[in-house]
Amino acid sequence: MSTTVSVSQPAERLPRLVWGAGLLLGSLLAIGLVVGISVGIGDMPIPLSTTYAVITNKLGWTSFELNRIHAAIVWDYRLSRSLVAAFCGAGLALAGAIMQSMLRNPLAEPYVLGISAGASTGAVLIVMLGLGAGAVSLSMGAFVGAFAAFLFVALLSNGARGGADRTILAGVAASQLFNAATSYIVTTAGNAQQARDVMFWLLGSFGGVRWPDLFLVSVVVGLGLVACLCYARVLDAFAFGDEAAASLGVNVAQTRIVLFALTAVMTATIVSMVGTIGFVGLVVPHAARFVVGPRHARLLPACAIVGAIFMVVADIASRVLIPQQSLPIGVVTALVGVPFFAVILYRLQRAS
Amino acid sequence: MSIKADNLVWKIGTKRVIDGVSFEAEPGKLLGLLGPNGSGKTSLLRLLAGLKRPHAGRVMLDGQDISSFRRRAIAQRVAFIEQHATTNANLKVIDVVKLGRFPHRTMLSGWTREDDRAVNEALERTGMSGKRDDAWQSLSGGEKQRTHVARALAQSPSELILDEPTNHLDVQHQISLLRLISSLPITSIIALHDLNHAAMYCDRLIVMQAGWIVASGTPQDVLTQRLLREVFSVDAHIETSPHHARPHIHFQR
C-alpha cells in the first residue's frame, strides 16, 4: 500500500491566500452589483451608471452633473434600504449557522431561542397598548421583547449547563409563551387596523429604513462576524458534541454563553429593525455548507456573503413580483427559498 | 507518576456513583477497567479526563491536581474517546484528525509543520492514511473508531482514556483496535466489557462494582472464578491459555 503524504508547505499557502482574497473580492463585487441593481428598481427606474455616479459624488471622489431627484432617491431612500437588506441577510445567515452548529440540529435557525416571538410581543405592547410613541419606540420594544425571550430561554435551559436538546425545548416553550401573550394582547386590546399593522410589520419590511438604521445594523453584524470568526475553530470542535469539545479543551459553558448572546444581539437588532424575516437563517447556512463544506473558517464568511446576496435579491423580488405593490419580504424569502432549498436537498440526497 | 485517582467521590443527587476510588496508572501501560453495567466506569473515566469535577477527592496529573489545570492544558496531555461520538457534519477523516490539534493551537496561530507531523503520524499509526480524504459518513464502524483514535493521537497525549471503544465492532475490528491501543507507548486507560480481550491486551486490570474498586492487579491475579461469580454473577473456568499465556475464561453453559 503506497500512500502519498502531502505536507502543505508555506509556499503552498500563498496561492491559497490569493485565492481566498480573490474570492472575497469577487463576492464583495457581487454584493455591490446586486445592491446596484436593487437601487435601480422602483417606480422611477435608475440606471446602474447613475447609481454609481451618485455614490462616487457623495463620497467626494467625482463631481458628475446629475438629476437631483435621481440623486436624492438613490442616496436618501434606496441605497440605505438595499445595504440594510444586505447586512440583515448576512446577520441572519450567520446567526443561523452558529445555531445549527451549537445545537447540532439542522433545523435550528436564529429564531429558535424565541427571539422573534419575544420581539412581536414587545412590538405589540408598544403599538396596541401605546407604551411610548412613534417608530423608534416600536423598535425598542421589539428589541427589549426579543432579549427578554432570550433571557427566559437561558434561565429555562439552566444557563449554560443544559444540553442542546434542552435549549431547543426551552426555545419552543418561550416561543409558545410569547406568541400566546401576543395573541392575547391583540385579541383583547386591539382594533382591527392596529392588528393588521402589527402583522404586516412582523412579516418583515425594509420600507422605513434609513442611514441611521444602516449604521446600527452594519456595526452589529460587522462586529458579530468578526467575533464569530474568532470562534470558527471552537465551532469546528463542537462537531462531535459538547463532551467531545470539552475533551479537546473548549470551555463549553463560556462558549455557549458568548455565542448565544452574540446571535441574540444580532437577531434582536435585525428583528427590531425590519421584522421577522424567516427562512434566510435556516436555508442559507445549508446552501453555504453545500458549497464550501462544514469548516467554519470558510462557512461563516460564505454564509454572510450568500445571506447578503439572497436578501437583496429577495428584496428586489418583493418589489417586482406584483406590479404597483410590494410583498412582505418574509413572504418572498420563503417563496424564493423553498424551491431553492428543494434543489439542494435533492442534490444532497443524490450525492450521498 | 502519570495519572492518579485519590479517593474520588462523585454523586448524582444523593447517589454515590463513584464512592472512594483510588488507583494509579502505570506510565506507558494499558490499564483495563472492568465492571458490570452501571458500576461507574464511564463516570470514573469522565472524572479522570477532567470533564466532571469530583465531589470529593482529586485526580492528579504528575502530582498536580487536575482542577488546577486549564481545560486547554488538560487537553494538551489527556485525550478522551467517548462511547458513541458521531456527527452529522460532512467532515473528512483528515478534518476529524485535525481537530486533535485544537488544544495546541491559539486563536491566531496558523497550521504549523508540527501540527502536520502529528496528524500524519496519527493517520499512519492507525492505518488511516489511505482514507484521509474519505467522508466520515462513508466509514465503517471500525474505521470511525480508528479515526477517533487518530484524532486522540494527534493531540500528542501522554494519557489516553477510552470508553468501551470496541462496542458494536465486529471481532476483526475489535482485535485490531485493541492491538493498536496496546502497542501505543502512552499511558492508556480503557473500559471494556469483553473479559477475554481485557485479559489478552491489558497490562493491569481494575474491577469496579457499585462505585468501588473490588479488585486490581495483573489479569492473572484479578480474573478469578470467585470474582467472576461475585461481581459478574457468572460461573466460569479460568485457565492460562497455551497460545498467549494470558488467562482465558470459559463461561459455563
Q: What is the pLDDT of residue A329?
A: 87
- Can you spell out the DSSP letters for chain B? --EEEEEEEEEETTEEEEEEEEEEPPTT-EEEEE--TTSSHHHHHHHHTTSS--SEEEEEETTEEGGGS-HHHHHTTEEEE-SS----S--BHHHHHHHTTGGG--SS----HHHHHHHHHHHHHTT-GGGTTSBGGGS-HHHHHHHHHHHHHHT--SEEEEESTTTT--HHHHHHHHHHHHHSSSEEEEE-S-HHHHHHH-SEEEEEETTEEEEEE-HHHH--HHHHHHHH---EEEEE-TTTSSEEEEE--
Percent of chain A with pLDDT over 90: 30
Residue B1 has pLDDT above 70, yes or no: no
Task: Locate A221 and state its grid cell.
Answer: 453584524
- Predicted confidence band of residue A334 (pLDDT cuts 50, 70, 90): confident
pLDDT in the model for residue A17 = 78
Task: Give B47→chain A minimum CA distance, Å.
Answer: 11
Is the Cβ pair B71, A295 closer than 8 Å? no
Torsion angle of C-alpha atoms A134, A139, A143, A148, degrees rounded to 10: 40
In sequence order, what DSSP letters do the residues of A282-343 get, joined into one string? HHHHHHHHHHH-S-HHHHHHHHHHHHHHHHHHHHHHHHHSSTT----HHHHHHHHHHHHHHH
The CATH homologous superfamily of the domain defined by A23-351: ABC transporter involved in vitamin B12 uptake, BtuC (1.10.3470.10)
Residue A158 DSSP SS3: coil
Cβ pair A253, A160 in contact under 8 A = yes
pLDDT for the residue A66? 80
Give the closest of B74, B79, B99 to A236, CB-based. B99
Beta-strand pair B204-209/B30-34: parallel
Q: Return the pLDDT at A9.
A: 47
Measured between alpha carbons, how far is B146 from B154 in angstroms, rounded to an integer? 12
Q: What is the pLDDT of residue A6?
A: 44
Q: Which residue has the cell 446576496?
A: A309
Distance from CA of B215 to the nearest CA of A (A): 28
pLDDT in tens, A66-86: 888 888 888 888 899 999 999
Note the pLDDT of residue A5. Answer: 42
- Chain B residue numbers with beta carbons less than 8 Å from the beta carbon of A236 are 95, 99, 102
| ipTM here | 0.89
* pLDDT above 80 (res A304): yes
C-alpha grid cell for residue B148?
477517533
| CATH 1.20.120.1730 correct for B1-77+157-218 | no
The pLDDT confidence band at residue A135, using thresholds 50, 70 and 90, is low
**Nearest CA of chain A to the CA of B244: how many Å?**
30
- Set of chain A residues whose Cβ sits within 8 Å of the Cβ of B103: 248-249
pLDDT attached to residue A134: 56
* CB of A221 closer than 8 Å to CB of A87: yes
pLDDT digits (tens, 9 = 90+) for B207-253: 999 999 999 999 999 999 999 999 999 999 999 989 888 999 999 88
Among the partner-chain residues A230, A244, A246, the one whose CB lies closest to the CB of B71 is A246
To the nearest whole number, what is the mean pLDDT of chain B?
Answer: 91
- Whole-number pLDDT of residue A133: 58
To the nearest whole percent, how much of chain B has pLDDT over 90?
Answer: 77
Question: Which residues have CB under 8 Å from B243's CB, separation 6+?
Answer: none
Percentage of chain B surpassing pLDDT 70? 100
Residue contact A5–B79, C-beta within 8 A: no
CA dihedral A221, A227, A233, A238 (to 10 degrees): -70
pLDDT tens digits, residue range B40-81? 999 999 999 999 999 999 999 988 999 999 999 999 999 999
pLDDT at A7: 44
Which of A93, A122, A100, A143 has its CA nearest to residue A300? A93
C-alpha distance from residue A104 to each of A167, A235, A300, A345, B67 (Å): 11, 10, 16, 18, 28
CA gyration radius for chain A? 22
CB of A250 closer than 8 Å to CB of A101: no
Q: Residue A169: what residue type?
A: L
Contact between chains at A244 and B82 (C-beta distance less than 8 A): yes
For residue A8, what pLDDT is reported? 45
Nearest residue in B to A290, CA atom: B90
How many Cβ atoms from other residues are within 10 Å of residue A1's Cβ? 5
Is some CB atom of chain B closer than 8 A to the CB atom of A240?
A: yes
Q: pLDDT of A9-58, one tens digit each?
A: 455 566 777 888 888 899 999 999 999 898 888 778 888 888 888 888 88
Residue A159, pLDDT > 70, answer no
Average pLDDT of chain A, as a whole number: 84
Residues in chain A within 8 Å Cβ distance of B93: none
Q: Searching chain B, which residue's CA lies closest to the CA of residue A105? A: B88
Q: Indicate the DSSP class of residue A240.
A: G
Tens of pLDDT, residues A94-106 = 999 999 999 888 8
Amino acid at B58: R
Q: Are B193 and B164 in contact (CB under 8 A)?
A: yes
Chain A from 7 to 46: CB within 8 A of any B CB: 7-8, 13
CB A137 within 8 A of CB A127: no
The predicted pLDDT at position B154 comes to 95
Give the gap in angstroms from C-alpha A172 to the nearest C-alpha of chain B: 23
Taking each helix axis as running N to C, give the angle between helix B113-125 and helix B141-154, from 0 to 180 degrees, rounded to the nearest 10: 140
Q: Which residue has the cell 485479559?
A: B199
Asked if A42 and A207 touch (Cβ cutoff 8 Å), the reply is no
Residues A182-221 pLDDT 10s:
888 888 876 777 777 777 777 788 887 888 889 999 999 9
Domain boundaries, chain B: 1-77+157-218, 86-156
